[in-house]
């Protein structure tokens, strides 16, 4: 049994396990609209979004999910007003301060994927500490995409490969999909089986562009601050009804076509 096949949490029901995806990625979207609907400042929408993240991180292992990657801040979110950017920058600190000890105790490995440039030195230190503290855990994997963009990540990987070639450390013909995947920020995580986007928007918004190649996509009409276990269950139900063929044909078609 490989590490990826290890059953996650004792007590998860086998019937759920059969259809449950291993790696779920979530575009946490709709905080601003949630706040607006209530006549609240957007910052309170983001705070409520952190609570939804906590609920989702707790629910995921119960649903046999082993990897969860969440989109917290994109390389394009810098174009928001400075005050909102500052509020978003403060969220990981708040989340780690209240939750990192419990995450560690529960065997969660936390990784923050994205560019470090642009983050305050305090935030970088906090992220490094959270990662170092949890790096030996492997019961559940939480990847937080922060200052992350799929195009930025691919560009950074290409640049690093080009530098290696220029320095004579490898040759252009060494590059294949496996090597390229290992140069990305998600290296070490299996590709997402399911990408979920609440809030009604139906796009990837630069999330996991390479890794999404064969992910199933589920869009849900709920704003992220309202998200909880029931919505995740519904997404998994949709996922379970999908026929994943990875470019091949369904097994029951093989005989028919000879």
CB nearer Mg ion, residue 77 or residue 186 = 77
Phi-psi region at 7: left, alpha or beta (left = phi > 0; alpha = psi -120 to 50): beta
- The encoded tokens of residue 226 equal 């309202």
Q: State how far the alpha carbon of 183 is from the alpha carbons of 48, 67, 152, 162, 177, in Å.
A: 34, 19, 12, 12, 10
Rounded-to-integer distance, Cα 166 and Cα 171, Å = 9
Which residues inside 174-203 make contact with ligand IPE, applying CB under 6 A? 199
CB nearer ligand IPE, residue 205 or residue 238 = 205
Residue nearest to Mg ion (CB): 29
CB nearer ligand IPE, residue 134 or residue 206 = 206
Note if 77 is an active site residue: yes
216 binds Mg ion (CB under 5 A): no
Rounded-to-integer distance, Cα 25 and Cα 68, Å = 6
Q: Are 31 and 46 in contact (CB under 8 A)?
A: yes
32 binds ligand IPE (CB under 6 A): yes
Closest separation in Å from C-beta 115 to Mg ion: 20
Catalytic hit among 31, 77, 147, 206: 77
Q: In the block, which residue shows the tokens 């009804």?
A: 241
- The encoded tokens of residue 153 equal 């990540």
48 binds ligand IPE (CB under 6 A): no
The binder of ligand IPE chosen from 20, 24, 28, 185 (CB under 6 A)? 28
For 122, phi and psi rounded to 5 degrees? -65, -45
Stretch that binds Mg ion, among 27-35, 40-48, 128-136, 177-185 (CB under 5 A): 27-35
Q: Are 58 and 13 in contact (CB under 8 A)?
A: no
Q: Are 217 and 195 in contact (CB under 8 A)?
A: yes
Closest separation in Å from C-beta 70 to Mg ion: 14
Q: Which residues pair with 24 in a beta bridge?
A: 68, 194
Q: State how far the alpha carbon of 226 is from the alpha carbons of 47, 51, 83, 134, 220, in Å.
A: 12, 9, 24, 28, 11
Angle at alpha carbon of residue 153, lines to 173 and 139, rounded to 5°: 100
Closest separation in Å from C-beta 77 to ligand IPE: 5
Rounded-to-integer distance, Cα 109 and Cα 103, Å = 8
Would strands 67-74 and 23-27 be described as parallel, antiparallel, or unpaired? parallel
Note if 64 is an active site residue: no
211 binds Mg ion (CB under 5 A): no
77 binds ligand IPE (CB under 6 A): yes
29 binds Mg ion (CB under 5 A): yes
73 binds ligand IPE (CB under 6 A): yes
8 binds, among Mg ion, ligand IPE, none (CB under 5 to 8 A by kind): none
227 binds ligand IPE (CB under 6 A): no
30 binds ligand IPE (CB under 6 A): yes
29 binds ligand IPE (CB under 6 A): yes
Which residues of the chain form contacts with ligand IPE (CB under 6 A)? 28-33, 73, 77, 88, 199
Q: Which residues are catalytic?
A: 29, 77
Which residues of the chain form contacts with Mg ion (CB under 5 A)? 29
């Amino acid at each position: 049994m490989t590490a990826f096949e290890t059953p996650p949490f004792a007590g998860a029901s086998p019937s759920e396990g059969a259809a449950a995806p291993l790696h779920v990625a979530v575009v946490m979207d709709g905080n601003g609209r949630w706040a607006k609907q209530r006549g609240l400042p957007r910052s309170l929408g983001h705070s409520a979004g952190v609570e939804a993240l906590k609920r989702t991180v707790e629910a995921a292992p119960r649903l046999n999910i082993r990897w969860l990657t969440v989109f917290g801040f994109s390389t394009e979110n810098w174009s928001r007003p400075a005050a909102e950017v500052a509020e978003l920058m403060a969220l990981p600190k708040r989340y780690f301060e209240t939750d990192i000890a419990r995450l560690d105790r529960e065997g969660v490995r936390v990784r923050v994927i994205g560019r470090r440039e642009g983050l305050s030195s305090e935030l970088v230190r906090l992220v490094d500490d959270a990662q170092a503290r949890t790096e030996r855990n492997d019961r559940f994997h939480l990847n937080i995409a922060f200052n992350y963009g799929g195009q930025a990540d691919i560009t950074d990987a290409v640049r690093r490969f080009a530098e290696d070639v220029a320095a004579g450390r490898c040759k252009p013909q060494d590059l294949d999909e496996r090597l390229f995947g290992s140069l990305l920020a998600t290296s070490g995580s299996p590709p997402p089986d399911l990408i979920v986007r609440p809030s009604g928007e139906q796009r990837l918004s630069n999330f996991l562009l390479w890794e999404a190649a064969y992910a199933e996509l589920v869009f849900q009409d709920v704003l992220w601050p309202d998200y909880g276990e029931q919505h995740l269950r519904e997404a998994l139900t949709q996922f379970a009804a999908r026929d994943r063929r990875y470019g091949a044909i369904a097994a029951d078609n093989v005989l028919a076509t000879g």
